[in-house]
A = this chain, B = another copy of it.
Amino acid sequence: MKSTKKSNVHIILIERGEKIVEQLLAYCKKNKISAGFFCGIGAVDQAELAHYIVDNKKYSSKHFKEPLEICSLTGNVSIMDNEPYIHCHATLGKENFSVVGGHLKEAVVHAVCEIYLCEVSRKIERKHQERIGLNVWEFK
């Protein structure tokens, strides 16, 4: 992983073989980022996508193991239990150009993953909400 920044914009390159969510999380911890959003593109060759149903309060998930273009990587950073928390969704394009997508649990970079993360210098907290079974933003 390599990075550079200009004021509140972090430009992050995640490299072949590295895990996207793990690297983003480590970056946010190291740089004490407590809120912001990011957009990215690139390619992965392993990914775990998840889909949530409130009625079951359960994620179902599926592993993909093939070269996939990251058509879109969209997400945000918040704070849960005093630590940065990454929430990230993605659309992934197959060799036949069909697309799969969902909540991105983790993915391993195939070629590169290029991310622009716009930091917001305030704290957005997330707390578990029993009603829907997820960790939800709580604004103060």
Contacts and interface: CB of A to CB of B under 8 A. Distances in A.
Q: Does more than half of chain A's interface fall in helix, strand or loop, or is it mixed?
A: strand
A107 to B, nearest CB: 13
A37 B69 contact: no
Interface in A36-75: 37, 39-41, 43, 49, 51-54, 60, 62, 67, 69-75
Interface residues of A, number: 61
A114 interface: yes
Given A67-B53, A139-B4, A100 B110 contact: no
Taking each of A53, A101, A131, A134, which has the highest tally of chain B beta carbons within 10 Å of its own beta carbon? Answer: A101
Contact of A89 (B69, B122, B139): B69
